[in-house]
Amino acid sequence: MSIVVARNHEEVGPYVSRVIWHITMSLDGFIAGPNDSMDWAVREWSDDGANTRDIDVDRSAIADEVLRSAGAILGGRRWYDVAQRLYDGVDGIYGGEWRGPVFVLTHQPPHQAAQKSVTFLSCPLADAVATARTAANGKNVVIFGANLAKQCLQDGLLDEIVIHLAPVLLGDGVRLYESTGTDPIVLTRTELAATGQLTDFRFRV
């Protein structure tokens, strides 16, 4: 199956399904903390119920738009395993609000049956993106996982990056992007907002 991926939104208009990497990132560039922790990316209350850290991606209008316009999720294997182990698997996606199909690209699909909404794909990346795009049925494909996103970026398959920047230094974890010997990837900032203490960025690749 081959699907022509439109690269230029000005030419084709906004209705074309886009491939979006959607992440929360610490100020020092980590999209997951030590031991894949994400507790730095959520609200925090004191004992007397006061909100001590105004960090709440759910409240971001840009995050909400990404969720509402998404038709499928394509994740990497490491993302899937971490989500299974720590974050209620696919039931935990977008705080439990995700109802659509989830595709996981992996060389070795797990033996045990997955939840009905999960499909394991063992195919070239472009085919996996095309499969997710077909399933999204005109809506967007959201990418989860730093490795998968990097491959999408380098193969020209990614259209947008949405980053919620949290004002915290973590010191260690999974970095947004590491790639030696490749050309810089120039982005265009298309949206910018503040949601409490979060900075919401939307970039076009």
- 179 lies in the binding site for other proteins (CB under 8 A): yes
- 178 lies in the binding site for other proteins (CB under 8 A): yes
Say how far apart CA 77 and CA 25 lie, in whole Å: 20
- Angle among Cα 42, 120, 38 to the nearest 5 degrees reads 15
Say how far apart CA 189 and CA 202 lie, in whole Å: 6
State the nearest-atom distance from the C-beta of 100 to other proteins, in Å.
28
Stretch that binds other proteins, among 78-86, 102-110, 120-128, 168-176 (CB under 8 A): 168-176
Stretch that binds other proteins, among 59-67, 83-91, 102-110, 169-177 (CB under 8 A): 169-177
Say how far apart CA 194 and CA 57 lie, in whole Å: 11
Q: Which amino acid is at 179?
A: S
State the nearest-atom distance from the C-beta of 9 to other proteins, in Å.
16
Of the candidate residues 153, 157, 162, 174, the single one contacting other proteins (CB under 8 A) = 153
- Whichever of 29 and 109 has its CB closer to other proteins, that residue is 29
The CA radius of gyration of the chain, in Å to the nearest whole number, is 17
Nearest-10 crossing angle of helices 146-154, 77-86: 160
Of the candidate residues 43, 53, 78, 139, the single one contacting other proteins (CB under 8 A) = 53
Say how far apart CA 67 and CA 22 lie, in whole Å: 10
Give residues in contact with other proteins (CB under 8 A): 27-29, 33, 40, 53, 153, 161, 163, 165, 167-172, 175-189, 192, 194, 197, 199, 201, 203
